[in-house]
Amino acid sequence: KCQPIIFQVSITNQNQWDEVLLTKGVLVIDVYQAWCGPCKAVVNLFRKLKNEFSEDELLHFAVAEADSIVTLKPFRNQCEPVFLFCVNGKIISIVRGANAPLLNKKITELVEEERKVLAGEKERPEFFRYFTLFTTFFHPFPTEGVRYSVAIIKPDAVSEGRVEEIKKKITGAGFSIAAEEEKLLTEEQIRVFYARNTEQPDFDDFLQFMMSGPCHILVIAKKESTKAIPHWKDLSESSENEPDELDPQKQDRWETEELLSFCDVQDSIEDASRQLAFFFPNFGKQNTGQHVERTLALIRPLLLKERRDSIIQRIRDDGFKIAMQKEIVLSEEQARQFYKEHENEDYFPALLEQMTSGPTLALALTRVNAVERWRELLGPKIVDEAKKNNPTSLRAEYAVDSVPIDQLHGSSSPGDAQKELKFFFPQEHTLALIKPDAVKEHKGDIMQKVKDAGFAISKIKEASLTREMAMQFYKDHEGKPFYDSLVTCMTAGPSVVMVLTKENAVEEWRQLMGPTDPEEAKLTSPESIRAQFAQDILSNAVHGSST
């Protein structure tokens, strides 16, 4: 009985990964999650391509389990297939999703190009490697004896909660962090920071990767008493003459290299100066010892019900800005997960009962030194202690009689703030449409408002809806008096269809759109899209998903 030929090498650990990456030619790797296995939908395509290009043994295929390979950490816990493309041991490109036409095109192009390189018909291009070890020089520009540069911690490191770890490594090497901010970068911002790389063959793939989630942007400083320029690579490069033994110093360098592979920093004085002004326009006016931070505040159910407006006003009076807010009724499972570090405390049952008794208001607060300042305002956690020792604190002032649990929560540290904000405001994707009535005259203005609001545009296309598509799209409104008119409006011309990505994206997009009726929007949300660009309640410029 004939056995099927196994044409995909299986990679299940780091050693196997390192060996397979030495393969000459074009290597296509299907990165899969342990719980679902490799992508079966593309096997026939890959087998066909393997047969077509079999004569010169240039094309190879492999499958790699992300969960067991350190290099593939950025691709863990993803629900769509990921395909990496390697040429002579270098990862040069990525395709997300089982897009057969795109995979076929990409593989064919790479093989044909490799054939020309081997035949001496063209030189091998320099590919922009975006998940390799970081070895860029750090050449900050001088200001009053201090040299600064802008660094970006990439989305994969942010999503894995490694920001504090990377920052400690940076400060441990003698650098200081003068300012920082976490944000979703727009396409324009990425192109500015990586201006020197825009012509690289895989830059479009890298662009999508950098827009896939929030980045953490740092202003890194170092005081210089000499004319010598500090080298960022000093953090990560080891001497070629070091012995091969795994001594503690070398191990530390390897750990540092892994950390800094998640972080990019500019490599010229001119670029560093320009980008500091671009990302931190008010940096020169700030006290560099103070950081604009985000922290999580929770207003628990009883206080929210009784004194919501009062506590929110107190927060604003102290200089906090409310960057995001969400009212949520926590399930017992959610409350247990959020407060799992307290589950052995005597007060834990009462805390669970309190947190699941009604809506809680979660706030993302921003200001200089937000974490420390919010904790100072809150005062002691024990209500009686707060009343006795700090009667002007928020926990004392807003205590609820006969309830032993304090009514306010604040993050304990910047690291905790980062984790807790992700719990209540996870990164989300939402569908957004610019309707035909607004595409012709206001498309550019609306797109600018989307970018200014911090959304990453993960996908975008212009499409004309057929009547059948529009009817299906608004199926929930079928039978309502305005249904036919709504369908007609949606088929009057092309729409711009987008997938927007941001923390709390669904709610943030609905706020940016404004009320459905543009007249109401002008009164209650004058800066919203519908207030500024909508014609009437049907031709109201934009559409957004409700969940």
DSSP labels, 45-86: HHHHHHHHTTTTT-EEEEEEEGGG-GGGGGGTT-SS-EEEEE
Residue 126 within a domain: no
Which has the minimum average pLDDT: 154-163, 362-371, 495-504?
154-163
Do 280 and 247 sit in the same domain of this protein?
Answer: yes
Q: What's the pLDDT score for residue 291? A: 61
Number of domains in the chain: 4
As given in the structure block, the two tokens for residue 424 are 């209540």
Q: Is 540 annotated as a binding residue?
A: yes
* 315 & 413 share domain: yes
Contact 246, 122 (CB under 8 A): no
Amino acid occupying residue 385: E
Q: Is residue 129 part of a domain?
A: no
Residue-range definition of the domain harbouring residue 159: 141-285
Measured over the CA atoms of residue 35, residue 40, residue 42 and residue 43, the dihedral's sign is: positive
Q: Which helix (H) or strand (E) holds 392?
A: none
pLDDT tier at 4, thresholds 50, 70, 90: very low
For residues 284 and 176, which has the higher predicted lDDT (pLDDT)? Answer: 176
Mean pLDDT of 208-225: 75
Mean pLDDT along residues 175-185: 78
- How many Å apart are CA 7 and CA 41, to the nearest integer? 15
The pair phi, psi for residue 542, each rounded to 5°, is -140, 160
pLDDT at 363: 93
CATH number for position 18 = 3.40.30.10
**Which one is predicted more confidently, 288 or 155?**
155
Residue 145 has pLDDT above 80, yes or no: no
Whether residue 543 lies in the annotated active site: yes
286/447: higher pLDDT: 447
Q: Determine whether 79 is exposed, middle or buried from the number of CB atoms within 10 Å of its CB (0-12, 13-18, 19+).
A: exposed
Alpha helices in 262-300 (DSSP H): 269-279
Q: Tell me, yes or no, whether 18 and 85 share the same domain.
A: yes
* Between 91 and 68, the higher pLDDT residue: 68
**Cβ proximity of 97 and 208 under 8 Å:** no
| Chain mean position to CA 450 | 16
Give residue 133's pLDDT band: very low, low, confident or very high (50, 70, 90). Answer: very low
Q: Is 151 in a helix, a strand, or coil?
A: strand
Q: Verify that 260 and 296 share a domain, yes or no.
A: no
The two structure tokens encoding residue 367 = 């200001």
**Among the three residues 285, 303, 319, which one is the final residue of a domain in this structure?**
285
Mean pLDDT of the chain: 79
478 and 504 housed in the same domain: yes
The DSSP code for 189 is H
210 and 239 inside one domain = yes
Q: Is 419 annotated as a binding residue?
A: no
More confident: 6 or 299 = 299
Indicate whether 142 pLDDT > 60.
no
pTM of the model: 0.48
Task: Kindly indicate the confidence band of residue 261, based on its pLDDT and cuts at 50, 70 and 90.
Answer: low
**Domain assignment present for 93:** yes
Quick count: other Cβ atoms within 10 Å of Cβ 114?
Answer: 20
Structure tokens at 269: 């004085």
Structure tokens at 421: 């904000």
Which of these is catalytic: 60, 291, 409, 442? 409
Lowest-pLDDT range of 21-30, 108-117, 140-149: 140-149
Q: What is the pLDDT of residue 131?
A: 39
In a domain, 1, yes or no: no
Q: How many helices (H) and strands (E) are present in the chain, helices listed first? A: 22, 18
A 10 A CB-CB count for 489 gives 19
Bridge-based pairing of strands 26-32 and 59-65 is parallel
**Residues near 484 by Cβ (< 8 Å), separated by ≥ 6?**
none
Does 127 fall in a domain? no
Domain assignment of residue 315, yes or no: yes
Domain boundary among 285, 301, 331: 285
- Is 303 a domain residue? yes
Per-residue pLDDT, averaged over 419-432, amounts to 87
pLDDT of residue 93: 78
Q: Please tell me whether residues 157 and 281 are part of one structural domain.
A: yes
Domain shared by 271 and 184, yes or no:
yes
Residue 247 has pLDDT above 50, yes or no: no
Neighbours of 187 (CB within 10 A): 14
Look at residue 284 and tell me whether its pLDDT is greater than 60: no
Determine the average pLDDT of the residues in 282-301: 71
What pLDDT, on a 0 to 100 scale, did the predictor assign at position 343? 87
Residues 6+ apart with CB under 8 A from 179: 218, 219, 280, 283, 286, 288, 291, 292
pLDDT at 231: 44
Percent of the chain with pLDDT over 70: 80
Which CATH number does the domain housing residue 222 bear?
A: 3.30.70.141
What's residue 257's pLDDT? 45
Distance of CA 433 to the CA centre of its chain: 22
Is there a domain that residue 130 lies in?
no
Give the containing element (helix H, strand E) for 460.
Answer: strand 456-463
Q: Are residues 216 and 329 in the same domain?
A: no
**pLDDT at residue 255 tops 80:** no
* Predicted local confidence at residue 428, as pLDDT: 83
Tokens 């993803």 correspond to 78
Domain stop point among 393, 424, 455: 424
Same domain, 275 and 303: no
Per residue in 147-168, pLDDT tens? 677 788 888 777 777 788 888 8
* Residue entry with tokens 């077509």: 52
Are 114 and 173 members of one domain?
A: no
Q: Evaluate if residue 348 carries a pLDDT over 80.
A: yes
State mean pLDDT over 38-42.
89
Q: Which amino acid is at 524?
A: T
For residues 331-351, average pLDDT: 89
More confident residue, 70 or 351: 351
Same domain, 419 and 436: no
pLDDT for 228: 35
Q: How distant, in Å, are the alpha carbons of 30, 81, 182, 188, 351 from that of 76?
A: 13, 11, 22, 28, 34
243 pLDDT above the threshold of 90: no
Nearest to 429, CA basis, from 22, 126, 96: 96
Pairing outcome for strands 59-65 and 8-11: parallel
Options 139, 216, 291, 543, the catalytic residue: 543
Q: What is the pLDDT of residue 259?
A: 46
